[in-house]
Amino acid sequence: MNPRAQQGVWVAPGRVNIIGEHTDYNGGYALPIALPQVVTCRATVTDDGFVRVGSAQHAGETVCEPIDDLAESAVRGWARYPLGVVHEFRRRGHDLPGVVLEIDGAVPVGAGLSSSAALECAVALALRDLFGLDVDRTELIDIGRAAENSYVGAATGTLDQSAALLCTAGHALFLDFASGASAQVPFDPAGAGLRLLVADTGSPHRLADGEYGRRRSECEAAARELGVASLRMLTDPDQVRRLADPVLRRRARHVITENARVLTVVELLRAGRDPRAIGPLLTAAHGSLRDDFDVSTPELDAAVAAALDAGAHGARLVGGGFGGSIIALVKAVDTESIEAAIRRRFSSAGFAEPRFFHAAPSAGARRIS
């Protein structure tokens, strides 16, 4: 094995979803972009039968586990994500003699920007390339999803892994989760004098605490009662009236209307319309996530309201909800004033100091050395 094959460095980005939340596991549509912020994985082949994982963000916490015993590993926390990816490769019959994984993460953790999927995808791509495995990116997406679902215990779909592995610079990624198809959609807010502002509210974003899984179960229950394989098959919000349970009615209505919003945004962008035109759809999506899907928080609502009051064209929570971040489509020249407005709103409410990032459509996972 030549020296290049024995080690290397790979990166995978975080993501923000322009629109399309909680639609992936319902067979629907979504439109994410990759972030400039990435998780870096330096991987080195060993032959001792162990996987060693360290992180620049957790100095002195190197984890060392026998590869053959990963199914029974009691490791929890951040290290369980890369261990889960290694385990999933092994479970699928790929022989990995041993590996050292050194992680460095620039994607904010707990902000709803998919730092976990970025970690999974950086490791998955590294293992694929490092060991010369015949695994395409579609399977890498599924490996990351399986690691998060079965090994970590978060009942997520494949949106985040798809964004990390398939996004390209200057584009949003249109995903159809029923067919598995994807397409690149030109998205250039900067060219229109706009910026996609991300505000991390500082409220912890946790998916493995049961709420995300509960929403998924509620959607599945609604689909069963409506006699369809998935809520994707429904296009008329009035169809939810057939559901006796008001909670299931609201969950189903969000998915149906969110899918419609994604398709409208894609149509507007493909037609070359001014990106400002998608702003009201972002705001409508927040209302649906807040009122029908019950995944917002006081911090998220306050950030959205402050951004809109200060002149944003549209704003909404991003990711699974239950904390994390919002996105706001703003004039580039108004960015600082809108950030200041959100800070003032948070200060008056006694919330933690928010953090801000600027999201530009960036490249997906790749090897860099």
pLDDT by residue (tens digit) across 215-236? 999 999 999 999 999 999 999 9
Strands 50-55 and 99-105: parallel
Tell me the C-alpha to C-alpha distance, in Å, between residue 184 and each of 30, 32, 280, 355, 364. 12, 10, 22, 29, 12
How far apart, in whole angstroms, are the C-alpha atoms of residue 103 and residue 121? 12
Query: Does residue 111 contact residue 321 with C-beta atoms inside 8 Å?
Result: no
Active site residue 236: no
Residue 3 CA from chain centroid, whole number = 34
- What is the DSSP secondary-structure string of 70-122? GGG----GGGHHHHHHHHHHHHTT-----EEEEEEE-SPTTSSS-HHHHHHHH
What number of other Cβ atoms are within 10 A of residue 266's Cβ?
20
Tell me the C-alpha to C-alpha distance, in Å, between residue 202 and each of 117, 285, 289, 324, 354. 20, 21, 19, 6, 6
- Taking each helix axis from N to C end, the angle separating 137-146 and 115-130, rounded to the nearest 10 degrees, works out to 130
Query: Residue 208 has what DSSP assignment?
Result: T
Looking at residue 186, its pLDDT comes to 97
Looking at residue 2, its pLDDT comes to 46
How far apart, in whole angstroms, are the C-alpha atoms of residue 294 and residue 111? 18
**For residue range 3-26, what is the model confidence (pLDDT) as tens digits?**
446 999 999 999 999 999 999 999
**For residue range 264-277, what is the model confidence (pLDDT) as tens digits?**
999 999 999 999 99
Which residues of the chain are in CATH 3.30.230.10 domains?
Answer: 7-185
How far apart, in whole angstroms, are the C-alpha atoms of residue 362 and residue 244? 44
Report the candidate in 68, 177, 85, 183 with the shortest Cα–Cα distance to residue 135: 85
**Where residue 1 falls among pLDDT bands split at 50, 70, 90?**
very low
How far apart, in whole angstroms, are the C-alpha atoms of residue 206 and residue 77? 12
Query: Does residue 55 contact residue 78 with C-beta atoms inside 8 Å?
Result: yes
CATH class as words, domain 188-358: alpha beta
> Among the options 47, 104, 129, 160, which is catalytic?
160
Question: 310 CB contacts (<8 Å, ≥6 apart)?
Answer: 334, 337, 338, 341, 342
Looking at residue 3, its pLDDT comes to 42
**Where residue 208 falls among pLDDT bands split at 50, 70, 90?**
very low
Average per-residue pLDDT in the chain? 95
In residues, how long is the chain?
369
**pLDDT of 126 strictly over 80:** yes
pLDDT > 70: what percent of the chain? 97
**pLDDT of 29 strictly over 90:** yes
**For residue range 129-184, what is the model confidence (pLDDT) as tens digits?**
999 999 999 999 999 999 999 999 987 889 999 999 999 999 999 999 999 999 99
Q: How far apart are the first and last CA of the chain?
A: 17
Looking at residue 157, its pLDDT comes to 82
7-185: what fold?
Ribosomal Protein S5; domain 2 (3.30.230)
How far apart, in whole angstroms, are the C-alpha atoms of residue 218 and residue 151? 22
Residue 243 CA from chain centroid, whole number = 30
Looking at residue 49, its pLDDT comes to 96
Query: Does residue 286 contact residue 296 with C-beta atoms inside 8 Å?
Result: yes
Which residues of the chain are in CATH 3.30.70.890 domains?
Answer: 188-358
How far apart, in whole angstroms, are the C-alpha atoms of residue 180 and residue 42? 30
Question: Phi/psi of residue 261, each to 5°?
Answer: -65, -40
Burial status of residue 91 (CB atoms within 10 A of its CB: 0-12, 13-18, 19 or more): middle
Question: Residue ranges of the alpha helices (H) in 147-278?
Answer: 159-166, 211-226, 246-270
Burial status of residue 44 (CB atoms within 10 A of its CB: 0-12, 13-18, 19 or more): middle
Q: Tokens for 60, please give them.
A: 């002195």
**Where residue 121 falls among pLDDT bands split at 50, 70, 90?**
very high
Looking at residue 113, its pLDDT comes to 85
**For residue range 319-339, what is the model confidence (pLDDT) as tens digits?**
889 999 999 999 999 999 999
**For residue range 48-71, what is the model confidence (pLDDT) as tens digits?**
999 999 999 998 889 999 999 999
Looking at residue 207, its pLDDT comes to 53
